Chain A
Amino acid sequence: MKRQFLMGNEAVALGALHAGAARGAGYPGTPSSEILDDFNKLGGKAEWAPNEKVAAEVALGVSFAGVRAFTTMKHVGLNVAADVLFTAAYSGVDGALVFVVADDPGLASSQNEQDTRRYAVAAGVPLLEPSDSQEAYDFTRLAFEVSERWKIPVILKLTTRVCHSGTIITPRKPDANLPTAHFERNIPYHVMVPGHARPAHRRLRQKLAEIAEWNEKEGPNLKINGSQKLGILVSGVAYQHAREAAPDASFFKIGMSYPLPMQQMLDFVASVDRAVVVEENDPYMADAVRAAGGKIESAPEMYRFGELDVTRIKRILAGDASPEAVPPRGKPPQLCAGCPHTVTFEILKKHNCIVAGDIGCYTLAALQPLATMDTQICMGASLGVGLGLRHVLPRVEAKRVVSVIGDSTFVHSGLTGLAEMAYNVPPTGHVLLILDNATTAMTGQQEHPGTGRLLDHSPTNRLDYEEVVRAMNIPNVGIFDPIRQPGEFEKALVAALEKDELTVLIVQRPCILAVARKGVKPA
């Protein structure tokens, strides 16, 4: 087939299409967000789920029907979907199930630098790690094949530089003659009660042993025989940097990072005068090689922070642990001119609120000049954290606490927090603001259950925040447009802060970027 210039995310979408994936489900998260949109544009069936756990469950259900499914998320999304992953590893799948998970070393747009390879070990599922768009395509297809062959979920681990780098690929012929969806009753494999899960765990370990053997013999790992003086054990995009940093070295590039092809790795390490492991994030391969008795050098601790690049790998190979030059800081991101969030946070600032915040564009309110967000940890945490503060702070401080959450984040994991608010009511009550800008703005204006439109922007049911809040028996509910009714909103906020009751204020105004893009008229 003809060569194409594709971003890593586009290559994953094309790989999934050519693998005949029946459905892709996910929740947006940089750097994974474009995959499902691309899959949809290519003609695949794609959906945004309310959150990653639901997305993974939908994909598991598809795979239980005997066909191929995938789910996409950023690294922290796997924390939400981890409950599915760990037990789907036991149950196994009928068709195929691929978790596409995008890590963000260097935190270009994330709250932490967690390393998804640790999840593969913890859950006991194979993990593939592409280094460019060609491998993103090839490994996506391989992930479906491995998943289907061993009836096990497989993780395809991407990183920011794989997702958002463009490189050339040559696609292959799409898979043909795939099975059609059908239901086969198999209660001992699909119902994970203890009596079924005990043998399932043994089956899982047996599968992993077989996959490890396959990976040793014919896994997607690449050996390059260069100089015997230096051998580099490497995975992911770090391979591309390392080839440039040390063009004469020997390389062993690991494509399947769990289960590792350990015998081959040990042979490689023993075959060179000096072996060095180069990997982003955690010293995962370094620890594994050493635990298996291999002698290998690894990067000083300072290199586990941030991305690797050619310059840093040259330093690692030179054993240079001297402080690195601190790059000058650019202009930080900020809320767009005219963003409705700005007005909301100016009012919160004016009233000296303690703001338990959440994840989205509005997290930028934590930065100067607003500096009006006091906590932000993970999706949905504004509710629980705000309530925790309300429960224990002295009354005068407790009464200043406000939880603030965006619309997409509210649907993702604010609903259960709202149930907590309605159930365990702090002595001073509580105030929640739902900032409804009718889109998942931060990640590129994706739809969600509160917008009333599907991934492809066609109409569907719309979750009604006001009805949901009322159904939870919150006594005070109000809806305001922060641009048209800043005064009314402020009055309602002040009234809510004064009462010892529960209040939810829905602050509703479409994102100006979404309005510009889709021609959505402000209400």
Chain B
Amino acid sequence: MSDKVMSIKIAGLGGMGVLTSTQILAEVFFQQGLDVKKAEVHGMSQRGGSICSDVRFGKKVFSPMIPAGEIDFLVLFQDDQFPLYEAECSVQTVILKPGMLELEKLTNKRTFNIAMLGLLSRHLDIPVDAWLKVIREVLPEKLHTVNEAAFELGRKSV
């Protein structure tokens, strides 16, 4: 693979599952044997306020934070958060939004974050099984079926 570091930013509000999806995303790259770093903010910012986290992977990653203009994928959990990150995007940034999902088909709305990961997974060269394995490892067993369905929903969205 190339030496280029890929950078993914997930942005939403506290309580939407940003941290869980970040954990899954980073673990997927880790299990692929890549170098990976993630940066997130806890505490005060979790109380329903705007939050985002960065995941970067490649052969060698230095900073855990994405430098301005270097976001490859911006995964927005809510459309109105876009202006906060607009200046950090470039013309190459791929922006993924909730509207790209068939949200009405989501049986459990708490699996929305996993559906967004499914949507993102279409753009990354990683086998589906690797994603599902990590989802099963990170989430409690009783949530596996519903989250796997959400992931598939995202992955099949256009």
Binding site for B on A (CB under 8 A): 5, 30-31, 33, 108-109, 132, 160-161, 164-168, 237, 240-241, 243-244, 309-311, 325, 327-336, 361, 364, 442-444
What are 17 A-B pairs with beta-carbon distances under 8 A? A31-B42, A108-B42, A108-B43, A109-B41, A109-B43, A164-B41, A165-B37, A165-B38, A165-B39, A166-B23, A167-B36, A167-B64, A309-B65, A310-B65, A327-B84, A330-B81, A333-B14
Q: Which residues of B contact A364 (CB under 8 A)?
A: 47
Q: Are B68 and A336 in contact (CB under 8 A)?
A: no
In B22-54, the 8 Å CB interface with A consists of: 23, 26-27, 30, 35-51
Q: Are B68 and A311 in contact (CB under 8 A)?
A: yes
Q: Are B67 and A309 in contact (CB under 8 A)?
A: yes
In the bound complex, what is the Cα–Cα distance between A67 and B157 (angstroms)?
58
Q: Are B47 and A240 in contact (CB under 8 A)?
A: no
Q: Are A333 and B42 in contact (CB under 8 A)?
A: no
Contact of B26 among A5, A325, A332 (CB under 8 A): A5
Name the distance in Å between A104's Cβ and chain B's nearest Cβ: 9
Name the distance in Å between B79's Cβ and chain A's nearest Cβ: 13
With an 8 Å Cβ cutoff, the count of chain B residues facing the other chain is 35
Residue of A5, A166, A335, A336 with highest tally of chain B CB at under 10 A: A166
Contact of B50 among A33, A330, A336 (CB under 8 A): A330
Contact of B48 among A309, A310, A325, A334 (CB under 8 A): A334
In B67-85, the 8 Å CB interface with A consists of: 67-68, 81, 83-84
Q: Which residues of B contact A164 (CB under 8 A)?
A: 39-42
Q: Is B13 on the interface with A (CB-CB < 8 A)? A: yes
Contact of B64 among A165, A332, A443 (CB under 8 A): A165
Nearest CB in chain B to that of A310: its residue: B67
Q: Which residues of B contact A31 (CB under 8 A)?
A: 42-43
Interface string of B49-65 (1 = CB under 8 A from A): 11100000000011111
Q: Which residues of A contact B91 (CB under 8 A)?
A: none
Q: Which residues of B contact A244 (CB under 8 A)?
A: 62-63, 67
Q: Is B87 on the interface with A (CB-CB < 8 A)? A: yes
Nearest CB in chain A to that of B23: its residue: A166
Nearest CB in chain A to that of B88: its residue: A327
| 10 tightest A-B CB contacts, nearest first | A330-B50, A109-B43, A30-B43, A333-B49, A333-B47, A310-B67, A109-B44, A165-B64, A5-B30, A166-B38
Q: Are B67 and A311 in contact (CB under 8 A)?
A: yes
Q: Are A166 and B37 in contact (CB under 8 A)?
A: yes
Nearest CB in chain B to that of A106: its residue: B41
Contact of B49 among A237, A243, A330, A444 (CB under 8 A): A330
In B91-125, the 8 Å CB interface with A consists of: none
Q: Are A160 and B49 in contact (CB under 8 A)?
A: no
Q: Are A30 and B27 in contact (CB under 8 A)?
A: no
Q: Are A168 and B36 in contact (CB under 8 A)?
A: yes
Residue of B37, B43, B62 with highest tally of chain A CB at under 10 A: B43
Nearest CB in chain A to that of B52: its residue: A330
In the bound complex, what is the Cα–Cα distance between A33 and B43 (angstroms)?
9
In the bound complex, what is the Cα–Cα distance between A331 and B39 (angstroms)?
20
In the bound complex, what is the Cα–Cα distance between A5 and B50 (angstroms)?
26
Q: Are B39 and A161 in contact (CB under 8 A)?
A: yes
Q: Which residues of B contact A332 (CB under 8 A)?
A: 49
In the bound complex, what is the Cα–Cα distance between A510 and B39 (angstroms)?
31
Q: Which residues of B contact A108 (CB under 8 A)?
A: 41-45
Q: Are A166 and B26 in contact (CB under 8 A)?
A: yes
In B142-157, the 8 Å CB interface with A consists of: none
Q: Are B37 and A331 in contact (CB under 8 A)?
A: no
In the bound complex, what is the Cα–Cα distance between A361 and B48 (angstroms)?
12
Q: Are A333 and B48 in contact (CB under 8 A)?
A: yes
In the bound complex, what is the Cα–Cα distance between A327 and B39 (angstroms)?
18
Q: Are B62 and A30 in contact (CB under 8 A)?
A: no
In the bound complex, what is the Cα–Cα distance between A240 and B37 (angstroms)?
11
Q: Are A333 and B39 in contact (CB under 8 A)?
A: no
In the bound complex, what is the Cα–Cα distance between A168 and B48 (angstroms)?
30
Q: Are A334 and B47 in contact (CB under 8 A)?
A: yes
Q: Which residues of B contact A330 (CB under 8 A)?
A: 49-51, 81, 84
In the bound complex, what is the Cα–Cα distance between A132 and B64 (angstroms)?
9
Known contacts being A244-B63, A244-B67, is A328 close to B43, with CB within 8 Å?
Answer: no
In the bound complex, what is the Cα–Cα distance between A491 and B64 (angstroms)?
53
Q: Are A325 and B87 in contact (CB under 8 A)?
A: yes
In the bound complex, what is the Cα–Cα distance between A332 and B44 (angstroms)?
9
Q: Are A240 and B62 in contact (CB under 8 A)?
A: yes
Residue of B14, B26, B44 with highest tally of chain A CB at under 10 A: B44
Name the distance in Å between A261's Cβ and chain B's nearest Cβ: 23
Q: Are B84 and A328 in contact (CB under 8 A)?
A: yes
Q: Are A160 and B41 in contact (CB under 8 A)?
A: yes
Nearest CB in chain A to that of B86: its residue: A328
In the bound complex, what is the Cα–Cα distance between A240 and B61 (angstroms)?
9
Q: Which residues of B contact A30 (CB under 8 A)?
A: 42-44
Q: Which residues of B contact A361 (CB under 8 A)?
A: 47
In the bound complex, what is the Cα–Cα distance between A184 and B44 (angstroms)?
45
Q: Which residues of A contact B23 (CB under 8 A)?
A: 166
Known contacts being A108-B45, A331-B50, is A241 close to B40, with CB within 8 Å?
Answer: no
- Given A240-B64, A309-B67, output 14 extra A-B contacts at Cβ < 8 Å: A5-B26, A108-B41, A164-B40, A164-B41, A165-B40, A166-B64, A168-B35, A309-B63, A327-B84, A331-B50, A333-B47, A333-B48, A334-B48, A443-B43
